Structure 1
Amino acid sequence: MNFTDLERLDAPALPVPELPWESIAGRLEQLTIAILRFEARLEASGLAAGWQSRCDMTEAVRALMLDGHLVDVGDLVLHDAGMDVRSPTHELTRAAAALRSRRTAMARKAPWPVSFDGLAALRGVGGIGSEAPTASRRKRPDPDDDEAYRAFANDADPWKAHFAEIDAVLDRTTRVLEGETPLPKSRSHLVYDPDQDEAEAEDLWLDLVKRTSHWPAVAAAAVAWNAWLDLNLYTRLPWLGLTMAASILRARGLTNHLLPLAAGFKQSKFRPQGRGRAKEKLDGFCSVAEEALEIANKDLERLILARELMGRVTAKTRSNSKLPELVDLFLSRPLVTVPLGAKLLKVTQKAVDLMLHQLGGALPRKLTGRTRYRAWGIV
């Protein structure tokens, strides 16, 4: 992890909390073993990609729910596929941003999200200087300055410089669209507190993460999450604190995936009250992680059972059948509609109807009672 910019801090570092290691060692060990067992079970099942895809979508919805906003998971699935049935609401776009943040964290190697560049990309503002290509950082020559283009006057291809600039622009645009280089946004004083220095708070938080890097993974993630809440970092991004805690567990090698901590927080009875002893906050995070593991295991069990039932049907199909791909859609999304399946499988809606009929009793549960809008999902 790159923490070189922390040297510019003028404010004192956050104090590292004192923990009673003798009394909490047993619970930390049990939780660590539970996470490792789930990770081994997930990898052995062969459903890791589908489970993570479903988890990211449901986590985005639950994160907005914790902030007091309701978003239908079906709307998020259709919005993600570019098949909105109505104009996206503000809450839906925020849920899509949460989904994009989790996917960005999973797309890169584990230590990257817990860094300046990774945090900038996950929160959707700022730039990633270390990841930008050399051509995109190069100063653009003035088109009216003949001296700037004199070096290319005798080239065999006089348009080489112009094409290079176009390629650099296209490369920067691709990085922005993929979330690698978020666009800078203006900060309105009507929305943001001008007296709050979020950059300094972010530096303090990253410094605390660095100083607890030798701790057990669960304890380090718990302290980082509580410090995030104490610093009141990015309150308009309610999903980011738990995503960073899950990223710390992943960066420490405890898991290769992002656990559904937002679902665990919603299910648990722990609510941070601001002031409290370090052990109480650690116990609260452990309860959140335990609830998240229980939810993750139940979802994995549903996926395994559904795959087994649908696999009995797909085993009898032809080698060029699209039915196994439809099964993969059910295993990777909270719900599937006929138009969604037709678009992603590149077949007609009639073909999707026939494949749904072919599944018979193995077809997942129908989630709607309407005839014009039909959706099925593994619940």
Structure 2
Amino acid sequence: MSYSFDKLPIHDLLVPVVSASAALARLDERLHSSPVRTGWIERTHFLDAAAALWLEGELVQMEDLVLHDERMDVRAPTHELTRAHAVLRARRRIHAAKPDWALSRAGLRELAGLSAPQEEGPADQSRDHASVPGVGHQDDELVVGATGDKADPLAAHFAALDAVLERANLLLDGKRVERRPDSVEETAQPVPLRVRSELVYDLEWDESARMAEWTAVLERTEGLPAMLRAVVLLDAWEQINVLQHGGWLGGLLVASLLRREGLTLHHLPCLHLGSRAIARERRRSPDQTRRLLAFLSSIEAAVELGIKEHDKLMLAKAQMERRLAKRRSNSRLPELIELVLARPMVSTTMIQKALKVTQQGAINLVEELALREMTGRKRFRAWGVL
């Protein structure tokens, strides 16, 4: 579809745009010299990832997401949890990269998982599809890259299992095992290409064309104020409906745009978290002006929630540091405080792994800080700050 923004009601949007820009700048300036900035950023990655799935109608428990990120799941991960973790990894990837990376050609291809340009060869295409961490291709069908003929869907999996078992047996026998290739370039065999299954994807849904339409809007909005440009692009992403199973990517790309334009130099805005506070009727309204105003309100809501989270962490840090008085210089409590501030919650295993203490030692440290138990369980417990 074609997205138009030629008749924007500037007079209705001017004051909300200025207000949202000022609020976002205040939050970023507060984080500039904050002692809990690193912990705040890490915690908001989790919060925004869970909010992204909430907007799509899926509920992901924060404790499950934290434990899954640490590879300490207490149960088999659900599909929703896996998708939330994909959002989490994408946020971390964008935040760790340069401000202009996400909206570059390479960044969009990696995050969206779109097919490579036609001038690239089969090996380049297979590498792009195999390495993309964004939308995911768990249900894709394997096709032999060299001939294009369909193979047994389970043959590749069984072959991989056989190779792992053979290597394990050789290692147990004390024999030398050659290093496995780390990249596609090191492999001598052709790598299978992935094509999307008709059971999961609509093959007539041209994501590349839709992405080209959205990037055209990105180019046409150059020269507009950064905040106005951001909400227009966010609305365009929703209206064009670029990706079938990765609608959450639009919020991350727009957040990256705000960082690239200099409104947020020290954090990546949590646009999904702010959208939770806005009624769906406003965000999905048929009226374009009402949608844009809703997106501006969501940014202000995200800033308000971010300030509350920051104040909560500052208060918790001050309260926990009072318990450090008259402690030994080699006490592990300062390390535990940093760990608790950097995660929405921590488990006994996480404390053991990070602080190199025993299970009972981890429990004793938790009791000394008087942390709040978040799960209400007697086993597989997790703690956090108020």
Using structure 1 for the length normalisation, give the TM-score.
0.78
Q: CA deviation at 1:14?
A: 4.6
Distance 1:287 1:118 in 2: 28
Distance 2:114 2:91 in 1: 15
**Pairing partner for 1:374 from 371, 375, 381:** 381
**Pairing partner for 1:110 from 99, 103, 113:** 99
**Pairing partner for 2:322 from 308, 312, 330:** 312
Runs of 5+ consecutive residues of structure 1 not aligned to the other structure: 1-11, 138-165, 175-182
- The answer to whether the Cα contact below 8 Å between 2:100 and 2:260 also exists between their aligned partners in 1 is yes
- The answer to whether the Cα contact below 8 Å between 1:35 and 1:254 also exists between their aligned partners in 2 is yes
* CA displacement, residues 161-204 of structure 1 (integer Å, 9 cap, x when unaligned): xxxxx999425699xxxxxxxx9742112222222211011012
Equivalences for residues 176-325 of structure 1 within 5 A: 185-256=194-265, 257-270=267-280, 271-273=282-284, 275-277=286-288, 279-325=289-335
Equivalences for residues 1-379 of structure 1 within 5 A: 14-124=3-113, 126=115, 169-170=181-182, 185-256=194-265, 257-270=267-280, 271-273=282-284, 275-277=286-288, 279-359=289-369, 363-379=370-386
Distance 2:354 2:205 in 1: 45
Distance 1:205 1:267 in 2: 26
* CA displacement, residues 209-235 of structure 1 (integer Å, 9 cap, x when unaligned): 122132111111101011111111113
- The answer to whether the Cα contact below 8 Å between 2:114 and 2:208 also exists between their aligned partners in 1 is no
Distance 1:17 1:317 in 2: 65
Q: CA deviation at 1:52?
A: 1.3
Q: CA deviation at 1:123?
A: 3.0
Q: Residues 184 and 202 (structure 1 numbering): CA distance in 2 closer, same or farther, change over 3 Å?
A: farther
Distance 2:12 2:376 in 1: 53
Q: CA deviation at 1:83?
A: 0.9
Worse-matched range after superposition: 13-22 or 337-346: 13-22
- The answer to whether the Cα contact below 8 Å between 1:105 and 1:122 also exists between their aligned partners in 2 is no
Distance 1:274 1:202 in 2: 23
Which amino acid in structure 2 is aligned with residue 65 of structure 1? W
Distance 1:95 1:235 in 2: 16
Length, aligned pairs only: 324
- The answer to whether the Cα contact below 8 Å between 1:13 and 1:207 also exists between their aligned partners in 2 is no
- The answer to whether the Cα contact below 8 Å between 1:121 and 1:127 also exists between their aligned partners in 2 is no
Instruction: State the superposition RMSD in angstroms.
Output: 2.8
Q: Residues 124 and 184 (structure 1 numbering): CA distance in 2 closer, same or farther, change over 3 Å?
A: farther
Using structure 2 for the length normalisation, give the TM-score.
0.77
* CA displacement, residues 323-348 of structure 1 (integer Å, 9 cap, x when unaligned): 11111111111111111111122221
Q: Residues 229 and 185 (structure 1 numbering): CA distance in 2 closer, same or farther, change over 3 Å?
A: farther
Q: CA deviation at 1:289?
A: 0.6
Distance 2:315 2:194 in 1: 45
Q: State the percentage of identical aligned residues.
A: 39
Q: CA deviation at 1:207?
A: 2.0
Which amino acid in structure 1 is aligned with residue 214 of structure 2? W
Distance 1:98 1:106 in 2: 12
- The answer to whether the Cα contact below 8 Å between 2:2 and 2:240 also exists between their aligned partners in 1 is no
Distance 2:3 2:179 in 1: 44
Distance 2:283 2:273 in 1: 16
Distance 2:254 2:362 in 1: 40
Q: CA deviation at 1:25?
A: 2.0
Which amino acid in structure 1 is aligned with residue 251 of structure 2? L
Which amino acid in structure 2 is aligned with residue 349 of structure 1? Q
